[in-house]
Structure formats: C-alpha cells, structure tokens
Chains A and B, each alone.
Chain A
Amino acid sequence: MTVVRDQDDPLVPPVVTLLFWMNVIALYLIVVVLASAFYFEFVRRELPCPLCLLQRAAFCAMGVGIMMNLKFGFSPRHYGVILLGACTGMIFAARQVLLHIVPGTGAYGSPVFGLHYYTWDVLVFGIAIALCAFVLMFNRQFDQRHLRRLSFVPMLAIVLMLALTGANAVATLLECGFQVCPDPPRDFQLLPPKFSIQPGQPS
C-alpha cells in the first residue's frame, strides 16, 4: 500500500475527504456522550454503576479506532478496532437493558429524552456497527494510505477525547477506590464525606 500525504496530492478522492470528516464528527459525538455522562455524575449527582462505566469504556475503545483512522489513514484494522469497541459496548448495554426489562424491576438513573442512558447506548452502538459495516464497503479509501496534517477541528476532538478518557480513569478510581466497584455504588470511596453524592436510584 502506498502512502500519500494529502497536502502533496490535490486529487484526493472525495470519498476519502467525506469519510475523514465523518470520523471527526463521530469523535465529537463520543466526546458529547462522555461529557454528558460527567454532567449526570457531578451535576445531577447520579453515580455510574459498573455496567455504566463499562459502556463508557466501550465508547473510549471506539475513540481509539477513530483516532487511528485520523492519524494513520484509513485501514480495515482501524475499523476493526471501532467494531470491537461497539460490539462490547452493545453487550454491556444490552445486559443492562435486560436487567430492567421486566415490569416492576425499576431502572437505573434518570431518563434522557424518554429513554435511559443504557437504552440509548444500545441504539448508538447498533448504529455504529451498521455504519462501520457500510463504510467498509468503500474500497477506494484503502487503495492508498492518505495521511493528513490534522487541522484545528480534528485535533481539538482528539485532545478532548484524550482528556475525557483520562478524566474517566481518575473519576472511576475516586468512585471505586482500590477494590471491586460496589454495585450499586453508594459514594466516592476515595473522597471525604463532604463530597458525598447520591447514586442513581431505581425509579
């Protein structure tokens, strides 16, 4: 496979440019999902359960694949990384939906636009799997490895993704401490009681 730097090649196939910006948008969407999860954790005071944290981790896994696409050019391997993240996220989210699917078993956390966080996750991971399968059909993106000099917009998405994943590592350590995460969580294990917040109660 030949490597082409886009700034040296004015004849970049339009599909490559389109897919590049689709990857950037996907990365921004993941950033929005992770930021909204922090909003629910610290503003709405709903501590994430272990399955919720695993779903966040699956979004981070998808982010790794997208960042590889942006940094190294498109490759089926990078889409494989995205698919692995989406498939594991789908498993985690589907299990949480099934835990609450029987009437009377309650739910975890408060709903967003009528659906709970984990129900949205099933939809989002399903759409991500379908989109990856669709995008993999465009063979021309793999003919040459198109390397771009990343401009401000994609670079900002990458930096935000990196920062949010690191922040999740710190927040999870504060919540779980040096032991198995409590299920459901009651409090931050490594913070003094004055920082205490209520976990998402079954509704």
Chain B
Amino acid sequence: MALALVFLLYTISMALVMLERRGMAAVSFIVALVTSLLVYAHFATSHLDISL
C-alpha cells in the first residue's frame, strides 16, 4: 500500500506542477521520495538477521 501511496503522491505532485503550484508540488515530491526510501529500507532490511 505504501508503494501505491508513493505513485499517488507523484501523481499529485505532477498535477500541482500543471496547476502552477510549485511549492506544494515540491512538498508532495519530497514526501513521496522519503516514503519510497522508507519502503526500500523496509525491503532491504527485512531479510537480514540482526539478532546479534
């Protein structure tokens, strides 16, 4: 679901660019980028055994 949210946020960001709302588009872009990095971090660490 988080991945779908990432795409939705990028869609919103693009729509805001078309509506000439650059500031809000930038905010939406940053939230989408951070969310995608968090999703990546989840999948990158989910297979690790860190119970040292």
Residues of A within 8 A of B (CB): 50-51, 53-54, 56-58, 60-61, 63-64, 67-68, 71-72, 81, 84-85, 88, 91-92, 95, 158, 161-162, 165-166, 168-170, 172-173, 176-181, 183
Contact = CB atoms under 8 A, between A and B. Distances in A.
23 contacts: A50-B43, A51-B43, A53-B3, A54-B3, A56-B7, A57-B10, A58-B36, A61-B33, A64-B13, A64-B25, A64-B29, A71-B18, A72-B22, A81-B29, A88-B36, A88-B37, A91-B40, A158-B18, A162-B15, A165-B10, A173-B4, A176-B4, A180-B2
A84 B3 contact: no
Contacts of A169: 4, 7-8, 11
A91 B36 CA distance: 11
Interface residues of B, number: 29
A19 B14 CA distance: 20
Contact of B44 (A56, A95, A176, A181): A95
Interface SS majority for chain A:
helix
Contacts of A61: 10, 29, 32-33, 36
B39 interface: yes
B36 A57 contact: yes
Contacts, number: 97
Contacts of A168: 7
B20 interface: yes
Given A166-B11, A169-B11, A57 B32 contact: yes
Given A50-B3, A50-B43, A68-B22, A88 B33 contact: yes
A55 to B, nearest CB: 10
A108 to B, nearest CB: 13
Contacts of B17: 64, 67-68, 71-72
Contacts of B48: none
Contact of A165 (B11, B37, B44): B11
